[in-house]
Structure 1
Amino acid sequence: MTCTISSFFATLVVLLLWRVEEIAEACSCSPVHPQQAFCNADVVIRAKVVGRKEVDSGNDIYGNPIKRIQYDIKQIKMFKGPDVDIETVFTAPSSAVCGVTLEPNGKKEYLIAGKAEAGGKMHVTLCDFIEPWDSMTPTQKKSLSQRYQMGCGCKITRCPAFPCTITAPEECLWTDLVIEKSVSGRQASHYACIKRSDGSCAWYRGIAPPKKEFLDIEDP
């Protein structure tokens, strides 16, 4: 009986350690507003994925090969980035380590934001803003060309629970997660946080350029 109990607890410990390791390796990202993702990114492009393969990217400290997924892309438009077309997007090999899965058939267009690498390459993770182009709202698409950049001097503060407030005039309070329980709520889908002429920031809605009067005195 003693051996049976000992074996049971030994097995339980192994399972618990395996589960802890699995959780530790899981990808975890803090929600961000699309504008914040745009401002944080080195590169933001609209593109089609035309190829996919697994490649080696050197070795780790133990000499084991580091695997990455290489997506070959056809860039349609660059909204932010270097003066060179992006031809290759790299990501980790699985979602557990924040790898991104894209359809490589060349049919679906994506908005891809991520970090620049040399020679027309970039790296992306699940924490970056990557969306099928057709799923984006007209406001989001329009904001990529000018409005998000106008607001990069502002800070979008996420409200985790009510009550919550801003602490400086340069902040916009993002409440989608509390009010709508979604990272794709009204503010993420239809608003941008814009800096006005007095240095303060406020939400602006719409696909037309912000009016001069708004930049001076109006609330959105």
Structure 2
Amino acid sequence: MTWRVSSCFVTLAVLFLWRVEEVAEACSCAPAHPQQMVCSADVVIRAKVVGAQEVDTGNILYGHSIKEIKYDIKQIKMFKGPNQEFDAIYTAITSSVCGVTLETDGTEYLITGELNAEGKLHISLCEFGMPWEDLSDTQKTSLIQRYEMGCECKIIPCSSIPCTISGPMDCLWTDWVVERTVTGEQAKHYACIKRSDDSCAWYRGAAPPKKDFLDTEDP
């Protein structure tokens, strides 16, 4: 009887520790404006996804090989990155560790990602992996130059009122408090751009503003 109680205790302890580890490894990403994702990425490309397969990462955990998803792509255009063409992107195997699920039927995506030490392009849920046709006209045109003009600016997300900024180089991002979404007007139609006096402000693209606080037009 004593052995069975001890065995049950050890089993429960192992299950508890496994659950804690699983929760600790769950994916968590802070909301980010598309401009922030572009500015912080190593690579920004437009690409068509044409295939997927599980591959080994070369790492071992608890005696098991760690796998990831390799997406085969056809690069259409590079907006940011090294002078090379990528034919694959990699992501974690599940969303719980920030893995991204992409359609492999030839859907075109805007992809922002990071390069590892081996030069492999990785994408996670904390980055941009949106179908190209779902982007607004402003987002598409901003990839060429406009987002880059504001990479020195700081976009401050506002999750509840009152919202404050700390300096002239801050742009207050209020999509969540106004529209309860992080894909609202500012995300779709505005870029935070550095001005000649070194301050930063929101500028709109093709779409007209729908909020009173967005009243600055492109110069």
What TM-score, normalized by structure 2, do the two folds share? 0.84
- Cross-structure match for 2:210: none
Aligned mates of 2:12, 2:113 — CA distance in 1? 41
The amino acid that maps onto 2:43 is V
CA contact (8 A) 1:88 1:120 kept: no
Match of 1:162 in 2: 161
AA in 1 matched with 2:182: V
Measured after TM superposition, the shift of residue 63 of structure 1 is 4.4
Report the Cα distance in structure 2 between the residues aligned to 1:47 and 1:112, rounded to whole angstroms. 7
User: Cα RMSD (Å) of the superposition?
Assistant: 2.7
What is the 5 A alignment of 1:1-220? 20-60=20-60, 62-106=62-106, 108-117=107-116, 121-207=120-206, 219-220=216-217
CA positional deviation for 1:156: 0.4
1:20 Cα deviation from its structure 2 partner: 4.6
Distance 2:62 2:19 in 1: 24
Does the CA-based 8 Å contact 1:100-1:125 persist in structure 2?
yes
SS at match of 1:140: helix
Residue 63 to residue 13, structure 1, CA distance change in 2 (3 Å): closer
Q: Deviations over 1:142-195 (max 9, x none)?
A: 101110011101110111211111111011000111111101011001000000
Q: Check whether the contact 1:142–1:207 (CA below 8 A) recurs between aligned residues.
A: no
Matches of 1:150 and 1:110, distance apart in 2: 23
- What is the DSSP-based 3-state SS (H/G/I as helix, E as strand, rest coil) of the residue aligned with 1:179? helix
Question: Retained in 1: the 8 A contact 2:204–2:216?
Answer: no
Q: Deviation per CA, 1:71-111: give whole Å up to 9, x if none.
A: 110000001000001111000001111000111122x1100
Deviation, structure 1 residue 59: 1.9
- Secondary structure of 1:46's counterpart equals strand
Contact 2:53 2:71 in 1 (8 A): yes
In structure 1, stretches of 5+ residues that fail to align are 1-8, 209-217
Q: Is the 8 A contact 1:50 1:72 kept in 2?
A: yes
8 Å CA contact retained: 1:157, 1:173: yes
- TM-score using structure 1 length: 0.84
Structure 1 residues 78 and 69: alpha-carbon distance in aligned structure 2, compared to 1, 3 A threshold = same
Residues 14-45 of structure 1: CA distance to partner in whole angstroms, max 9, x if unpaired? 98766655433321111000000000100000
Work out the number of aligned pairs and report it.
205
What's the offset of the Cα at 1:64?
2.7
Give distance in 1, aligned partners of 2:94 and 2:183.
24
Aligned residues with identical type, % of pairs: 64
